A and B are shown apart, each in its own frame.
Chain A
Amino acid sequence: MPADDLAVAAEPARLAVETRALRKVFGAFVAVDDLTIAVGEGEVFGFLGPNGAGKTTSVKMLMGLTRPTSGEARLLDRPLGNREARRRIGFLPEMFRFHDWLTGAELLDLHARLYGMTDAERRRRVPEVLHLVGMYGRRDERLRAYSKGMQQRIGLAQALLPDPKLVILDEPTSALDPIGRLDVRTIIQSLRAEGRTVFLNSHLLSEVESVCDRVAIINRGRVAATGPMRELLSRELLVELRLGRIDDDVERLIARFGSIRDVARDPLRPAIVTVEMGDEEAVARLIDALVAASVPVFGATPHHRSLEELFFEVVETTPERSEP
């Protein structure tokens, strides 16, 4: 994707989540130091960070469970706690405990009532979300009898009840098996396709990498890195070339397109040259140039930085948490 398209995607017209210098101090502990993020409508936003980074406290502030010490936040363009906004927000808490003496269907009916849905809306929507999360067949069993994964599914169903414009999911797949995870990923993708905003708090990096458009990495109560996923990950592009010939001339040729990181020579096999390059088009031009210079090219493997690599890099370089 060209760079200017990214700039457009990075600053969408309307924001679903917007926080400015949000801060929460518990006694002498700064849980969230300065949270400033913007999530555009229709985005799937990944909220990442190591344990204790302040992710859950941040989400709790957004959901009105915890009062910010200072700072500002708006959801769906309304101040925190606004009832109209809450009607359009679905939330799956990390600790997804519900009244376990209710059945699945009763729990959803209760939450639909809490959303202020009419009888007709509830009759239509409760079975719909039960089907969506694959729990329709178990709807008349008590929550107490559900497995952790089933409870998580009902929790997700509860968050989808009001046709939400914004869905905030706090570790939605932590209790799920691989099938459940895939289901959640599919649900998130269909939410995106319907133009809904998803705020995903997760520490499962591969999951975030596969569904999110943009991410913020939180560490020690601050935003350590934020941006569109592609842009963050494509900052560095390494290409591994397998060449039939390597000498000073070839190295000079390669150096015109990128900087050589490593050359592994082996008299019996093709040489492996690792090159850091600007973008993938440069790779194509380099290969053309090599072929034109009659250098046998056996392979070229572009290697993007993974989210995991980025995550560790960011987390390791964050400065110490500030004092209150």
Chain B
Amino acid sequence: MRTLLIARLTFDEAFRRKMILAVLLLSLVFLALYVFGFRLLHDDLMRYRQERLGRPDELLPYDVQASAMVLLGLYTVNFLAGIMTIFAAVGSISGEIEAGTLQSILPKPISRWEIIAGKYLGFLAMIAVYLGLMVGGVILVSRVVGHYMPPNVFRGLLLMILVSAILLALTMLGSTVFSTMANGIVVLMLYGMALTGGLVEQVGTALDNDTMVRIGVITSVVLPSDSMWRLASNVVQPEMAVNLLGPTPFGTISPPSEFAVRYAIAYCAVLVVASAVAFNRRDI
């Protein structure tokens, strides 16, 4: 199966080129800081609670605070994974055209769609491994240091993989059409737009501003990565935390629907097919 061969090549390349290792190393630094921060929060809250023992508790319940801390951790991981996805895949096709490596691959008995599909799966596997490790790390810190276990972690992880799968599909499509440099610019701009759009939507919700909410909805149609993140953030928080915290830059009180998830998955599929079509037409 040549698709899997290309997938493995893509996956191996990420490791051999030490890209994944560099990212993991930096991510370990982040996790170390995260342990430190979570410990401070936990100890502070416990001390505060001790001091106010017996008096009515004006603080938010501990779970809500810990949940906010988990959310911050996952938000960072999600952001890192998104950036990593874009940078890993930005030259997936254009870079190989520019380097000339495709000239010896394409004349082999392999179809161009198999190369697209293989690369997509290879990158996706790499991202899934990364997210699995990082989300696992955040949850582990929360349990061990913060004595708090967020709900629906696995579902949250899948949604976060979906976030990166969306960005990956967009980056790969761009890579079959644009040069590596142009693609990087276009994808980062769209990524920024989705992030800002999501933020505008939260602000709009808080201010009860329909136009701002609509801007958020439109950006999540153009690029549903941020809306899938908000859904992920929603499922890993206890309902109490969502209600108490209200709309935040990192979460939402009105999670996207099941339809939005299906839309996001279809979005990936359509973009991957479009990549194959565009690549098929391209002169190497």
Show the binding face of A for B, using Cβ within 8 Å. Answer: 60, 63-67, 83-84, 86-87, 89, 91-99, 101-102, 110-111, 113-116, 155, 158
Given contacts A66-B283, A67-B283, A114-B5, contact A95 B107 (CB under 8 A): no
Q: Is the CB of A113 within 8 A of B5?
A: yes
Is B270 in contact with chain A by the CB < 8 A criterion? no
Which A residues touch B262, using CB under 8 A?
A: none
Cβ-closest chain A residue relative to B104: A93
Which of B9, B17, B106, B281 is within 8 Å of A64, CB to CB? B106
Q: How far is the CB of A73 from chain B (nearest CB, A)?
A: 13
Q: Is the CB of A65 within 8 A of B281?
A: no
Is B109 in contact with chain A by the CB < 8 A criterion? yes
Assembled-state Cα–Cα distance A110/B100 (Å)? 16
Q: Is the CB of B13 within 8 A of A91?
A: no
- Chain A to chain B: the 10 pairs with minimum beta-carbon distance, closest first: A95-B100, A93-B103, A97-B100, A114-B108, A65-B284, A63-B107, A86-B109, A66-B283, A83-B109, A91-B107
Given contacts A60-B284, A101-B13, contact A114 B109 (CB under 8 A): yes
Cβ-closest chain A residue relative to B101: A97
Is B47 in contact with chain A by the CB < 8 A criterion? no
Which B residues touch A116, using CB under 8 A?
A: 2, 109
Given contacts A110-B9, A155-B104, 19 further A-B contacts (CB under 8 A): A60-B283, A63-B103, A64-B106, A65-B107, A66-B284, A67-B283, A86-B108, A87-B109, A92-B104, A93-B103, A95-B100, A95-B103, A97-B101, A98-B104, A102-B16, A111-B108, A114-B105, A114-B110, A115-B108
Q: Is the CB of A65 within 8 A of B104?
A: no
On chain B, the number of residues with a Cβ less than 8 Å from chain A's Cβ atoms is: 21
Q: Is the CB of B106 within 8 A of A65?
A: yes
Which A residues touch B109, using CB under 8 A?
A: 83-84, 86-87, 114-116
Which of B5, B100, B283 is within 8 Å of A93, CB to CB? B100
Which A residues touch B9, using CB under 8 A?
A: 99, 110
Which B residues touch A114, using CB under 8 A?
A: 2, 5, 105, 108-110
Q: B122-149: contact bitstring with A at CB < 8 Å (1 yes, 0 no)? A: 0000000000000000000000000000
Q: How far is the CB of A1 from chain B (nearest CB, A)?
A: 35
Show the binding face of B for A, using Cβ within 8 Å. Answer: 2, 5, 9, 13, 16-17, 99-110, 281, 283-284
Assembled-state Cα–Cα distance A116/B99 (Å)? 24
Q: Is the CB of A101 within 8 A of B107?
A: no
Assembled-state Cα–Cα distance A5/B241 (Å)? 92
Cβ-closest chain A residue relative to B103: A93
Assembled-state Cα–Cα distance A277/B71 (Å)? 93
Which of A86, A87, A94, A101 is within 8 Å of B16, CB to CB? A101
Cβ-closest chain A residue relative to B9: A110
Q: How far is the CB of A229 from chain B (nearest CB, A)?
A: 27
Q: Is the CB of A97 within 8 A of B99?
A: yes
Cβ-closest chain A residue relative to B112: A64
19 A-B residue pairs with Cβ-Cβ distance under 8 Å, sorted by A, are A60-B283, A60-B284, A63-B107, A65-B106, A65-B107, A84-B109, A86-B107, A89-B107, A91-B104, A91-B107, A93-B103, A95-B103, A96-B104, A98-B101, A99-B101, A102-B16, A111-B104, A155-B104, A158-B104
Assembled-state Cα–Cα distance A92/B107 (Å)? 10
Which B residues touch A86, using CB under 8 A?
A: 107-109
Cβ-closest chain A residue relative to B283: A66
Q: Which of A96, A102, A113 has the most CB of B within 10 A?
A: A113
Which A residues touch B106, using CB under 8 A?
A: 63-65
Assembled-state Cα–Cα distance A86/B104 (Å)? 12
Q: How far is the CB of A129 from chain B (nearest CB, A)?
A: 14
Cβ-closest chain B residue relative to A83: B109
Which A residues touch B108, using CB under 8 A?
A: 86, 111, 114-115
Q: How far is the CB of A96 from chain B (nearest CB, A)?
A: 7
Cβ-closest chain A residue relative to B15: A101
Which B residues touch A111, using CB under 8 A?
A: 104, 108
